[in-house]
Structure 1
């Protein structure tokens, strides 16, 4: 299950929280007093007092949630390692079964919101294995814990208030509802504020139940993805083959070329489709110029909004293409990468050379990739952003 811990630094849903700065101070201290403050705010927003009491009754601090929040995991796998584990044949088979089982719902999602079925199904698979693994943390206690904690109350208090609103709508039982440790709920792991704003009753039962109803989850995800900026009818990622003499310094997610300009440089789509030549396109090389290569289009940005991990987003986008009929990617023969200790040593060296690589964490993140490209270019090496022993040794 892909929960808040592995999804990125801060999910988009949290960034959308619009709370006053004064609210950030309403944290910590006696839990009972804190909950009374939350109740008062909910009642002031129109929630009946008895509903607020019901939503918060029995709430407690969950130390396991705090432990998870303070030790969030990060991706240290390569693209090949992570994508081969997550985009498995078993998941592809189940995904294609789900596309048939809920064909009418997926057709509605594409008709109303312009979101291809494969994109939704891939998120569904990667987040919860099609609803099988949704998390076993009390959603109420998780949000109470994180809202009460003074690290990021401005992010989590609005989610707790939104949970109370879901109780008011009859869409959530606060005593029994479980989900991810950071309060995400349901088959595609969404936060309460987003469920309220984008939720759709897909099965017509009068409630929005993204935890148990696949139609509700599918259509709610589609509306949310549309909100993130997905453009109907445009591609999101396309596997390509590349020549050896590219201007590799132009590769990466901030690449300045159009797809047509890449094609003119010898980049060749494996599916032969060059119809998107006028679109801006970035050439991404998850494991350098000798590994798998993709062109990413503006629609790829919705993946970065959903999850800021480059490895996760690229794998999820690739998964979607597989569900839509694309063949397995060409693995290539990537150069050996760096282990954790060596990557930290490289980041430290890059930092001493004046590059902003962020935290020295052993992760080949966007800042480290950009710094690597600059040093590779300075050293006359192909600037593909891949961290190798030869680069570390040279530096």
Structure 2
């Protein structure tokens, strides 16, 4: 079953089921896709029977406003003393599971605790969207059917195994369980950590954490290697070297005056990231940091999670510095329009400082002779 489904998911990026149109036609087409993948027709029909379009899912998909927050505001919102203390207590309580995750998959407890905390507040808030309806809604919607129709097939496969009842609930985008994994990832890399014969990410801590660790290992997490370190930067340097696109030996960063804020820096290669420009917090991001984007594609979310993992390991609170004021939503959208007009690929004009907008900001700062630290300010907007 898994082999047939995997082959299907690696085939054409857009499946045969037509987006839009009558829901009954869509369900019939998805059933045909499931059968073509070798899944039991009874499982497909029983899983899709009664599925409905959830307008709340469509609304959530179109309004992800939390990612408009800057790193300092976002990290202060997500990281609290209570979350730190609870995380450290859970590390002791489930020490055997974390030891197994480190031994078998090379993923340290700090990373797993961070995503457990941010995704579901350590399992307390796993989402109240019906998973089947969420996946059907997004697979039927014409925005990203190529992303979500394979998830419907994976959900049917899990349903056939008895691991995904139709009343399962989770996040609006179909993620399930304590660490919020999509059905295809659960099917391919879910771990029966407690040995009960099922992969149950909603109620089994062992299943959830070990599955998360296996997923990160699949995305090339390197055992025993660092992921993030806070640094202090000199008053003057070539700021155009900052950003995830540039990786230099740590010794080269040190030669430029970059120093660790809490102890010696690990060796290897790293990128200098300045989430709010040269006057704000500064970090060296190692190759493992890039792996975390396979869990979540938001730069701010990933940086906050990676930083929280270092806090759980004993790192101090970062130095917020004194960043230059950023742009509000309307100003950011105006900036994106100007950047797009100059030929930069900033994606959707949405007011979110994503990777495309950051890269475009840095290029325009260089062109205009401004400090190229990728932080959009009124000075840049006015110059454009």
Q: TM-score if structure 2 supplies the norm length?
A: 0.92
Where does the alignment leave 5 or more consecutive residues of structure 1 unmatched? 1-15
Q: What secondary structure is seen at the aligned counterpart in 2 of 1:119?
A: helix
* Residues 267-290 of structure 1: CA deviation (Å, up to 9, x unaligned): 0011222331xx221110011111
> How far 1:74 moved relative to its partner?
5.4
1:86 maps onto 2:78 in alignment: yes
In the alignment, the residues of structure 1 paired with residue 355 and residue 40 of structure 2 have an alpha-carbon distance, to the nearest angstrom, of 47
> 1:231-380 to 2 correspondence within 5 Å?
231-276=222-267, 279-380=268-369
1:199 maps onto 2:190 in alignment: yes
* 1:12 corresponding residue in structure 2: none
Whether the 8 Å contact between 1:17 and 1:155 is mirrored in structure 2 is no
Of residues 282-291 and 154-163 in structure 1, the stretch that sits farther from structure 2 once superposed is 154-163
Q: TM-score if structure 1 supplies the norm length?
A: 0.89
> How far 1:42 moved relative to its partner?
2.7
Whether the 8 Å contact between 2:199 and 2:207 is mirrored in structure 1 is yes
> How far 1:140 moved relative to its partner?
1.1
* 1:122 corresponding residue in structure 2: 114
Where does the alignment leave 5 or more consecutive residues of structure 2 unmatched? 1-7
* 2:4 corresponding residue in structure 1: none
* 1:13 corresponding residue in structure 2: none
1:224 maps onto 2:215 in alignment: yes
* 1:173 corresponding residue in structure 2: 165
* 1:10 corresponding residue in structure 2: none
Q: CA 1:32 to 1:234, structure 2 compared with 1: closer, same or farther past 3 Å? A: same
Q: What secondary structure is seen at the aligned counterpart in 2 of 1:341?
A: helix
> 1:41-120 to 2 correspondence within 5 Å?
41-73=33-65, 75-120=67-112
In the alignment, the residues of structure 2 paired with residue 39 and residue 193 of structure 1 have an alpha-carbon distance, to the nearest angstrom, of 17
Moved over 4 A (4+): none
Corresponding residue pairs, total: 377
> How far 1:173 moved relative to its partner?
1.3
Q: Which has the higher contact order (CA 8 A, sep 6+)?
A: 1
Whether the 8 Å contact between 2:17 and 2:29 is mirrored in structure 1 is no
Whether the 8 Å contact between 2:14 and 2:145 is mirrored in structure 1 is no
Q: CA 1:283 to 1:341, structure 2 compared with 1: closer, same or farther past 3 Å? A: same
Structure 1 vs Structure 2 CA RMSD: 2.0
In the alignment, the residues of structure 2 paired with residue 216 and residue 387 of structure 1 have an alpha-carbon distance, to the nearest angstrom, of 42
In the alignment, the residues of structure 2 paired with residue 151 and residue 102 of structure 1 have an alpha-carbon distance, to the nearest angstrom, of 41
Whether the 8 Å contact between 1:260 and 1:274 is mirrored in structure 2 is no
Q: CA 1:56 to 1:334, structure 2 compared with 1: closer, same or farther past 3 Å? A: same
> How far 1:206 moved relative to its partner?
1.2
